Structures are given as structure tokens and as C-alpha cells.
Structure 1
Amino acid sequence: MKTTTRKPLASLIAGLVIGLASAQASAAPQLPPIPEVKGAAVADQGDFELKFSIGTTQAGAQYRGLEYFEKIVEERSGGHIQVKLFHSAQLGDDLQAVSSLQAGTLEMTAPSTSPLVGMLPEFAVFDLPFLFPTTEVADRVLDGEIGQKILANASGKGFVAIGWAENGYRQLTNKNKAVQSPDDLAGLKIRTMQNPIHIDIWRTLGANPTPMSFAELFTALEQGVVDGQENPWITISASRFNEVQPYAAETNHVYTPFITLVSERFWNKLPADYQQLIVEAAHDMAIYQRQVSRSLNGQLKAELKAAGMNISELTPEQVKVFQTKLQPVYDKWKEQIGTELLASILKES
């Protein structure tokens, strides 16, 4: 006859406490609430449907911003513009979504600037390392005259560029060691996007840049095909890279915006008042989305640290060493990007 051993009460209580702590540690981040809609109602000028597609997930800051955009547009139009949201590249990745805008089969998208460099060469400026030392500088550039000029230059290729939001700062993770100086990168295989400036950044720092599809990245990290990767904290957390990358460095080495685009075919069908509503909604969305992005990044970084990730926070002096090492990247790319544009941004820093 088989006997059953009962666990002591103390063990049961201990297990309960551990389970509760684990549940608290994995609790959903606290996001800034979606604001109330500002602005007057817009008179009925016909009914329209607007599909808005993004490549990031439903759990990210970008989708939260889209929910506010939807609320603004539908409330202020009295429901005459219906917004349908699509996340996680359900309607295609960034480049596919932009192609759909040009074809008139999709109304809006908000890609990262990096994949669009082939179409819009001046967007390469956003891939330069340490261009925006703070988020305040990024906001000032993007929301000011420089950002508006870039939007105007980007429009007219089958889409209209109407605003900026935030993808955020990229951070470095790796499996081998803490990184606090360029010397620590020697020989490390770092996954990068298929982007020539990003490849130049890591090669100049002494690493071995390895372009690779994001879809392949976790398995490549797990199997040691590459030693490290770089992405914002939101992506690092959502992709569970900390499970195979014990080390991280808060380098803030590249700040990437999202750009809000509207299909030119759809735009030309809209009455002027509806066009203005879309622009105002995109502006309010961007302000809120940045708040969410920065709040979420801070919380997720703290969670990764609490879960055991070794995070190096670089001092200004350490950052300066990286910047000095990367000056050749600026020298190589400034002519192609445009010396005037680059100088105007650096002046804001």
C-alpha cells in the first residue's frame, strides 16, 4: 500500500509566498492612462474607414498610442471616420505596409525610419550613433522646424508624412561579459539589422556585426550563432532575450523614431477638415505614445534587473569614449546624409 507524505504547513506557506512574489514580479507594467479627447467635434463630411497597421505588438507603447488615435478620430468625427487597428505586422512588415499605402490598399502606418532609408536617404541620419543625447533633444528636433522639414521632404511618394512617435533608444545585450568600453566588444558577434550604418557602428567599435532577420534572432542567441544584439528595453523584455543574454549595457547608442504616414490616395479623398483632424490626432497620439514608451522602458529595465540581468549603466565619461571612437562613422556618412541637415541637428544638442 502506497503512503502519502503530507507537506509541513511551513513548506506550504513558503510555496505560497514564493508564488505570490513571482506573480507580483511578472505583473503587467503600469501604463499612463489614455487621456481624454481634446478638441472640438468636426462636422459630418461623409463616412470613411481607416485601417492603421503597425509592425510592433499589441503589448507595446506604439499600439497604446494607436488606441488613443482611434479614440480621438472616432469621437471628434462623431463616428463618421471608423478606425481599425492592426498590430504585429498582420498586414505586412514596415516596407510592405508602406507599399500598401502607395497602392491605396492601406490608409495609415507608422514604421521605424531605418527600413525606409533606401527610399528616403536622409532618414539615415537617425541611424547615426549618439545623435540625440537626451529625449528632450529628440523631441525638440522632431517636433520643431527640422522635423517638419523632414516630413515635408518625405511626402509625395505615394504617402503623406504627418508626424513622429518614438521607437526609442537601443541598448546592447550579450552572453559573455559586462560591456563598459569599446575594448569589451572586441570579437563579439553582434546581430544588427541589414543597415549599413549600424554595421559600420559595430565594426568601428571592434565587434563583428552580423546582419540577421529579427525572426531568427532568439534561436541564434540561444545556439550561440551570435553573442549579442541591440534593441530597446521594450523589445529585449518582450522577446525574453534576458533568458539567453545575462549581460546588458544601457548604451542609448541610437535613437530611432516612428514616422506616421497616410496613403496619398486616401488623403486626397478626405475633406480638408478631416485631414486636419487626422494631423491633430497624430500629434496628440505622439505626445502620449512617448510618455508610454518612456514609462514602459523604465519599468521593464527595472524588471530585467530584478530578474537577474547584469545591467551596466554607462557614465557620461564612458559614453564619451564610445562617441570618440565612432567619429569615423560620422565622417563617412555625413555627405550622403546631408551636411546641412546633420549640422542643424547637432546644433540642437
Structure 2
Amino acid sequence: MRKQISRSLAVAGAVLGIVVGSCAAMAAPITIRVGWASPAVGPHASGANGFKAELEKLAPGRFKVELFPGGSLGGEREMAESVQLGSLEMAITGTAVIGNFVPELMVTDIPFLFRDYAHARKVMDGPVGETLLAKMKDKGLVGLAFGEVGFRHLTDAKRPIATVSDLQGLKIRTMENSIHLAAFRALGAQPTPMSWTEVITALQQGTIDGQENPLSIIVASKLWEVQKYITISNHAFTPVAFYVSPALYDSLSPEDQAILKKAAEAGRAANRAYVDESEKTGLATLKEHGMQVTTLDRAEFQKKLEPLYQQYRERFGPLIDEIQKQ
């Protein structure tokens, strides 16, 4: 009888061990690695940290979020491709890079298209933004939300830029984006597409003369260390996309998919809060570090770009109309 009881207890113990082991395996958190190219402090970083905090709050123990700033997982294009392949779970990158895969997203890069921050955010959070997120899904990138780095400005090490003639011959780093390249060529500059991870070194070595980015990135990257002049140009607005791999997204329940989107929206809010603060304090910070500030003649620049606007309308007509009427 004792042997039978012992055997029964042993069997029960084994079964319990299997059940406990199975439950432990089922409870193992899903790891989400989030990569971005800019520093560990900045608009991308604020968005990533906001996403992480909200996801772990909404689904405690169900997800483990690991953050990889500074291009440690590659440049923006490399990360986008990794997300497509499923070898990276999530990235936060500029939409200009994603435009290489989703051409419709390039509409956001048209110079002087957005009037101000209120206009840009209304567009990116509304039907236009939802349409663009859906286009991303068709190309193997599950878009969750659009944040931003803000309106872009020019910096350089050679001279103040107030007129189109001041840009002539300057080597300006741009993103790998055909609209940006065409615009700067039309303005007489020498646009040089380059991964952000290479920019500081290129500026230090004089390979390029300048670059263009929003205040949030200029301040976060301490560009006053390698640039003398900043031109307040507001020449283009740059959204950033929070997106995940289909491999991750499709493995989740509808409930967890909804939680992922809510977390991305919290990340968007944190990202925009950083941008707003940078807009309030950024210029003063740059002046404190010795940068000289110039404001360009927007009307002259827009007139110079008029031949390109016709091409934009032929390419993006309905989307441009939808954005402008907002």
C-alpha cells in the first residue's frame, strides 16, 4: 500500500512539475527590442521610454522591452529592413527612410507643406496618418503611431544662410530621401545622403559642411561642437514612425495588439513633449554654446522650388490636397 501511495505521489509530483514548468514557459515575457539611431537622450529616446513604461504598466510581466539607442543596431534603413525580416522587433525611425519602401510616406517630406505643429499633428493623427500606417503594413512594417522630431533647420560650419545664394556649393547631409535630395539640388547645395550614425564624424572631418534637422536633434546631439551657424528655416516637417515586425504583431492576441498600439500612443505623447520643450528652450541653448542664429527668406526659397511643386502634385496630388485642407 505504501509503495502504491509513493508511486501515486511520485506520479502526481511529476505531473505537477510538468504543469508548473508549462505555466512558467507560458508566462515567459515576450522580448521587444527597440532600436533608434539618435542618442540616448532626445525625441526618439523619449518616445521609446514612454512606450516601454506604458507597455509594462498595461501588461505587467507579459513583455520585456529592451532599448538600443545610438544606432547600436544599425542605421535607420538597416533597422527598417531588420524589422521587415523579423530579426528586430521594433524601431523608431524617420518616415523619410521608410519612404524607400512605402513611397506614399514621402509626401510628408515636401518642403513647406505643413503650416505649423498643430497642423502637422492633426494630419498625422487623422485619416491621412491612418492611411499611411496601413500602407506600411502592406510593405512588412506594422505601423503603430506617428511621432516626430519636428520642423527641420539648417546648420553649417562655413557661413550664415539667409538667401538661396548662401547655400550655393555647400555640402549638406540629408537623409536617403529623393525629395530632400531634389530640393537641395534645386537650391544649389550639394546634398550628401548619409546615415545619421556617420554624421558627427563627417562634420568633424569636414567631409560635409552642414546638415539639417529639428532643434530637438540639434540640441540632443550637441551639434554646437561641430557647427557654428544655425538657420531657422522650418523647411520641412519630419514625422517618426513607431513600428513593429509582422512576426511579432501576428503572434499576439488581438488584446495584446491593442495594448501595443496604446503603448505606442503613449510613446508618441512623450516624444512630442520632448519636442515641445526643445522648441521652447532649444535656441537659447544653442546661443549659449556660441551658435549664430539666422532666419532665411522663406518666400525666396519657396519660389526657387516651384518647378518641383508641380512634380509633387503629379505624384501625390490627392494626399497633398487632403493635407492642405486640414
Q: What is the TM-score of this pair, normalised by structure 1?
A: 0.79
Structure 2 unpaired stretches of 5+: 1-25
1:241 to 220, 223, 245: 223
Mean CA deviation greater in 88-97 or 258-267: 88-97
Deviations 1:244-264 (A, max 9, x none): 432211101111111111211
Tell me the CA shift for residue 226 of structure 1.
Answer: 3.4
Does 2:122 correspond to 1:140?
Answer: yes
Instruction: Verify the 8 A CA contact 2:51 2:265 in the aligned structure 1.
Output: no
Query: Partner residue of 1:26?
Result: none
Compared CA separation, residues 149 and 45, structure 1 to 2 (3 A): farther
Query: Partner residue of 2:309?
Result: 330
RMSD of the alignment, in Å?
Answer: 2.2
Instruction: Verify the 8 A CA contact 1:186 1:207 in the aligned structure 2.
Output: yes
Mean CA deviation greater in 103-112 or 276-285: 103-112
Identity, % of aligned positions: 36
Alpha-carbon distance in 2 for matches of 1:47, 1:180: 53
Query: Partner residue of 1:289?
Result: 271
Does 2:325 correspond to 1:347?
Answer: yes
Whichever residue aligns with residue 262 of structure 1, its letter is V
Alpha-carbon distance in 2 for matches of 1:69, 1:143: 17
Secondary structure at 1:253 match in 2 = coil
Compared CA separation, residues 79 and 216, structure 1 to 2 (3 A): closer
Alpha-carbon distance in 2 for matches of 1:89, 1:220: 16
Secondary structure at 2:34 match in 1 = strand
Whichever residue aligns with residue 298 of structure 2, its letter is V
**What does 1:177-326 correspond to in 2, within 5 Å?**
177-314=159-296, 318-326=297-305
Q: What is the TM-score of this pair, normalised by structure 2?
A: 0.84
Tell me the CA shift for residue 165 of structure 1.
Answer: 0.7
Secondary structure at 2:50 match in 1 = helix
Deviations 1:252-309 (A, max 9, x none): 1111111111211111111111111111111122122111122124323211112221
Compared CA separation, residues 61 and 184, structure 1 to 2 (3 A): same
Query: Partner residue of 2:41?
Result: 59
- Please state which structure has a larger fraction of its residues in helix: 2
Whichever residue aligns with residue 174 of structure 1, its letter is D
Instruction: Verify the 8 A CA contact 1:61 1:296 in the aligned structure 2.
Output: no
Alpha-carbon distance in 2 for matches of 1:118, 1:110: 15
**Computing the radius of gyration over CA atoms, which structure comes out larger, 1 or 2?**
2
**What does 1:42-81 correspond to in 2, within 5 Å?**
47-81=29-63
Query: Partner residue of 1:88?
Result: 70
Alpha-carbon distance in 2 for matches of 1:144, 1:224: 42
Whichever residue aligns with residue 246 of structure 1, its letter is K
Deviations 1:10-35 (A, max 9, x none): xxxxxxxxxxxxxxxxxxxxxxxxxx
Alpha-carbon distance in 1 for matches of 2:197, 2:243: 25
Alpha-carbon distance in 2 for matches of 1:281, 1:148: 17
Whichever residue aligns with residue 236 of structure 2, its letter is V
How many matched pairs? 301
Compared CA separation, residues 55 and 187, structure 1 to 2 (3 A): closer
Instruction: Verify the 8 A CA contact 1:197 1:329 in the aligned structure 2.
Output: no
Instruction: Verify the 8 A CA contact 1:158 1:265 in the aligned structure 2.
Output: no
Alpha-carbon distance in 2 for matches of 1:92, 1:244: 23
Alpha-carbon distance in 2 for matches of 1:210, 1:93: 16
Instruction: Verify the 8 A CA contact 2:39 2:220 in the aligned structure 1.
Output: no
Mean CA deviation greater in 240-249 or 135-144: 240-249
Secondary structure at 2:130 match in 1 = helix
Secondary structure at 1:106 match in 2 = coil
Whichever residue aligns with residue 335 of structure 1, its letter is E
